[in-house]
Structure 1
Amino acid sequence: MTAESDPDFPQVETAEETLDEDNRLKADFVRLVLDAVERGDTEEAYRLAQPLHAADIADLFELTKREDRADLAIALGDLLSADVLAEINDWVRDDIVDALPAAQIADLAEQMETDDAVAMIEDLEEEEQQAVLAELDPEDRAVIEDALSYPEESAGRIMQRELVAVPEHITVGQLIDYLRDNQDLTTEFWEIFVVDPAHRPIGTCQLSWILRTPRNISISDVMKREQTLIPVDMDQEEVALRFQKYALISAAVVDDAGRLVGVITADDVVHIVQEEAGEDILRLSGAGEGDINEPIADSYKARVRWLIANLGTAMVASFIIAQFGAAIETMVALAILMPIVASIGGNAGTQTLAVTVRALATNQLTQSNTVRSIWREIRVALLIGATVAVIAGLGAGVIFSNWTLAGVIGAAILFNITIAGLSGVVIPVVLDRLDQDPAVSSSIFVTMITDSMGFLIFLGLAVFAGLAG
């Protein structure tokens, strides 16, 4: 008896039964599918998954244990489509693709848009990559090999080759007839690119303009000549910034000679923005790629090196504390209050660091406004420092009945937050000027400065004020 015919076995037939209120696959549904796969009941697994959207099938693979994904792929058969692979997490896709023969990978790649096919093939081992390329149609292989020749995370890697380009001397009517008669043209586009005889873009026409313009009007009379061109070797982060700045729907990609070679669309940029924003956040924390599907060994290597570096910076702070050991022994309150100064300074530095890294990533902070931005963060730090210092000082004075101690901790917090604000903006700016990613290592330096200076200022002021010998 199969699960489908068993009256005691729960059945799932509608989207309401497969998805929860947050549009995520329900745990019970995922269990039903995986149980069917485990029993070898591929027909039941296929029946359950068939109504799902491609994005939901991608989620199903991501929710499956790594060692079971190959069996799930076999059970779902043709449901593992190009659309599913385009939606799936990179790490999970690698697991699935590794289990597929080269011919099937090539077949899926030919169904994908160029940028998605490149994203799938570029992560393969060299030998597997060549085997898949050998299975491709010669025209598709040439396109993908050309894309792979560009640097990673460049416009050349993410652009689509499928576009519509026409000369400027034709009329709107001729263009409409051309679009209707040529079945080989791409089926998804928002703009028509107008090119000169050397295939250099000279303008664009939105589809809405074409549909609303009389047939006898020349394309050159309705096209928009001003356009944002994307160099083929431009970093994808800069591409995203241009789309945001100029509110683009699509943009032409040109080679070194200015010839039209591809197009980037807004849906591609959405993925880039999400990816780059996530990368910066994870780099600030030293968590590597931070993907829950990332292999344990890769996560370990990415994270441990930063914690080892942090151990070194922590030893600097410990050395400073050791120099004031006698003072701490004579007044226990110093040991109690010491962590407050360092932690508040660290948090203040992290706040400034996050704002600065984001400003650098979005081109809000440039050479023309660096000094003004630094001065702004110093003023913000002074205001915050003064507020927290008064609160902490009053609290310490009341608790320990020692207003000298209250003044020392207040002054230490004020100075440390100011230093934290300054370092939080200067360090990432300096790293950026040195062509280093400020999101990668800034936090280590900022933490070292705030901890070390916090302890040094607080304990030094305590000794200077005569609180301890």
Structure 2
Amino acid sequence: MTPEDRDISVLIEPAELAGVGAGDAQESNTLDEDNRLKPAFVRKVREALEAGERDVVYDLVEPLHPADIADLFELVDADERGALARAISDQMSPEVFAELNDHVRELIVEDLPADQVADIAEQLETDDAVAMIEDLDEEDREAVLAEMEPEDRAAIESALAYPEESAGRLMSRDFIAAPEHMRVGDLIDYLRERPNLATEFWEVFIVDARHHPVGTCSLSWILRSPRTVALSDVMKRDQTLIDVGMDQEEVALRFQKYALISAAVVDVSGRLVGQITVDDVVHIIQEEAGEDALLLSGAGDGDINEPIRDSYFARVRWLIANLVTALLSATIISSFGGAIEKLVALAALSPMVASIGGNAGTQTMAVTVRALATNQLTRTNTRRILWREMRVAMLNGATVATLIGCATWAFFGNPLLGGVIATAVILNILTAGIAGLVVPVLLDRFDQDPAVASSVFVTMITDSMGFFAFLGLAVASGLVG
């Protein structure tokens, strides 16, 4: 076997092995098996902060990864975060700020002088810098922008001009673009000779004379192609272009559908103005999924670091809305007061019918909201999905109705009562299946977020239908005279 045929091996010196062991020991003292900071470590940091021992705090935090430092800020009390930031000021790298929770970062940034915030923003990717600056008060934002270099300030102001949660806000302006007539060797030399270019990228965007993207070249193609080959001969012409005004949720769907690593962002004239990479999209997917789940429950942002006042206002409005819709159910119950007085079992059983319908409606609603968010449910297949959900509801209704009808008959010794509640359950679950699909779809058709108010309307429909169907059937069947 020749040296060329053998696998390349790396020899690790004993001293290096000792260093690895020391690192592992340090990690075992700070992180648990789930890669989270240990309570004992956090307690040491807090005790050192309380004692004013900034050197101890620095020594404890210094070995941590930027993401772990960001986690530490979330784990200490809000009134300790300023002291922690001052104790480890030279460790507050752009990487740490990029990993910080939005609410935590906002509090820390407000506590820092404008020149220091500007210095950090200049070292961040444009999208991360925008995320840090956009939530500041207008006065503080202008103070930070005034401290920045003109080029960086222009990039931030340009990004802030785009709507929130749009591709223009999300994109990075650090990318590599090359003319289609350039050769592979010339591109490699160009990248090596200019240190101020983007340092992290996976592909080069090929543009025409108008700076319109016409294709892409992955780094693997560039490195494996002869130097004399023109980029136009090795580039991939099919590409997914992102409009600057596209909503970030739609951007994430494009990345997921076409398995993208990065994508070019173009303005209204088709010029290349930025790029979006998969690491940004992973964050969007996580954010949007959590946002929809929280909107369904009316819990606002649902962030444990969100100010109490913001959480209060976000949640109480939906509780009030539920209170208003509950009045409809109360009105229906009161209209059957005479029947309930004659057969107390109606009062005991009617909440079960409403509750079962509410749960069924929530199931269908959750599936529908997810399908709308992922573009699985469109105008083309709405009728087919509605028929599918109706069949699922009928099967569920028949199963649950049989169980509750037999149990009611056995417990109260009244077969008619069992039949009435079984029929009411079937009707309410069928209603829940239809409402759970139709309500989110209608909200989506009117350009409203289907996750925001769907639960209020679906709950109102299933509760009202549950009480009305059960009590109405009880009267109509002659169960109560």
- TM-score (structure 1 length as normaliser): 0.97
Q: Does 1:357 align with 2:369?
A: yes
User: Do 1:165 and 1:194's aligned partners in 2 also have CA atoms closer than 8 Å?
Assistant: yes
Corresponding position of 1:387? 399
Corresponding position of 2:164? 152
Which whole-Å CA distance do the structure 2 matches of 1:13 and 1:122 have between them? 40
Report the RMSD for the aligned CA atoms in angstroms: 0.9
User: Do 1:192 and 1:206's aligned partners in 2 also have CA atoms closer than 8 Å?
Assistant: yes
Query: Please, which of 86, 93, 114 is the counterpart of residue 102 of structure 1?
Result: 114
Corresponding position of 2:20? none
Return the offset for 1:64.
1.2
Which whole-Å CA distance do the structure 2 matches of 1:433 and 1:277 have between them? 20
Deviations 1:267-307 (A, max 9, x none): 00000111111111000000011100000000000000000
Deviations 1:109-157 (A, max 9, x none): 0111110000000010000000000000111011111101101000000
Which whole-Å CA distance do the structure 2 matches of 1:13 and 1:403 have between them? 70
Which whole-Å CA distance do the structure 2 matches of 1:33 and 1:438 have between them? 44
Describe how 1:88-237 pairs up with structure 2 within 5 A: 88-237=100-249
Matched-pair identity in %? 67
Corresponding position of 2:96? 84
Query: Please, which of 41, 49, 67 is the counterpart of residue 37 of structure 1?
Result: 49
Deviations 1:155-190 (A, max 9, x none): 000100000000111111111111111111111000
Which whole-Å CA distance do the structure 1 matches of 2:91 and 2:75 have between them? 16
Corresponding position of 1:56? 68
Which whole-Å CA distance do the structure 1 matches of 2:411 and 2:359 have between them? 24
Letter of the 1:121 partner, please give it: I
Letter of the 1:433 partner, please give it: R
Secondary structure of 1:253's match? strand
Secondary structure of 1:252's match? strand
Q: Does 1:238 align with 2:233?
A: no
Letter of the 1:254 partner, please give it: V
Letter of the 1:196 partner, please give it: D
Return the offset for 1:390.
0.5
User: Do 1:349 and 1:446's aligned partners in 2 also have CA atoms closer than 8 Å?
Assistant: yes
Corresponding position of 2:27? 15
Corresponding position of 1:6? none
Which whole-Å CA distance do the structure 2 matches of 1:41 and 1:456 have between them? 67
Query: Please, which of 267, 275, 289 is the counterpart of residue 277 of structure 1?
Result: 289
Deviations 1:37-93 (A, max 9, x none): 111100000000000000000000001111111111111111111111100100000
Q: Does 1:377 align with 2:389?
A: yes
Return the offset for 1:13.
6.5
Letter of the 1:280 partner, please give it: D
Which whole-Å CA distance do the structure 2 matches of 1:449 and 1:226 have between them? 48
Return the offset for 1:468.
1.5
Corresponding position of 2:441? 429
Query: Please, which of 341, 344, 351 is the counterpart of residue 339 of structure 1?
Result: 351
Which whole-Å CA distance do the structure 2 matches of 1:269 and 1:14 have between them? 33
Which whole-Å CA distance do the structure 1 matches of 2:389 and 2:58 have between them? 58
Which whole-Å CA distance do the structure 2 matches of 1:467 and 1:55 have between them? 66
User: Do 1:204 and 1:225's aligned partners in 2 also have CA atoms closer than 8 Å?
Assistant: yes
Corresponding position of 2:11? none
Gap regions ≥5 residues in structure 2 = 1-23
Which whole-Å CA distance do the structure 2 matches of 1:82 and 1:179 have between them? 24
User: Do 1:13 and 1:48's aligned partners in 2 also have CA atoms closer than 8 Å?
Assistant: no
* Moved segments of 4+, more than 2 Å: none
Secondary structure of 1:14's match? helix
User: Do 1:193 and 1:203's aligned partners in 2 also have CA atoms closer than 8 Å?
Assistant: yes
Secondary structure of 2:88's match? helix
Describe how 1:376-415 pairs up with structure 2 within 5 A: 376-415=388-427
Return the offset for 1:220.
0.6
Corresponding position of 1:307? 319
Letter of the 1:444 partner, please give it: V
Return the offset for 1:215.
1.0
Q: Which moved more, 1:343-352 or 1:207-216?
A: 207-216
Letter of the 1:53 partner, please give it: H
Letter of the 1:176 partner, please give it: I
Which whole-Å CA distance do the structure 2 matches of 1:256 and 1:243 have between them? 21
Secondary structure of 2:301's match? coil
Corresponding position of 2:308? 296
Corresponding position of 1:265? 277
Secondary structure of 1:205's match? strand
User: Do 1:320 and 1:455's aligned partners in 2 also have CA atoms closer than 8 Å?
Assistant: yes
Which whole-Å CA distance do the structure 2 matches of 1:78 and 1:63 have between them? 20
Letter of the 1:99 partner, please give it: D
Letter of the 2:111 partner, please give it: A
Which whole-Å CA distance do the structure 1 matches of 2:249 and 2:265 have between them? 15
Q: Does 1:328 align with 2:340?
A: yes
Corresponding position of 1:47? 59
Which whole-Å CA distance do the structure 1 matches of 2:201 and 2:477 have between them? 73
Corresponding position of 2:4? none
Letter of the 2:221 partner, please give it: W
Count matched residues. Answer: 458
Secondary structure of 1:348's match? helix
Letter of the 1:185 partner, please give it: L
Q: Does 1:461 align with 2:473?
A: yes
Gap regions ≥5 residues in structure 1 = 1-11
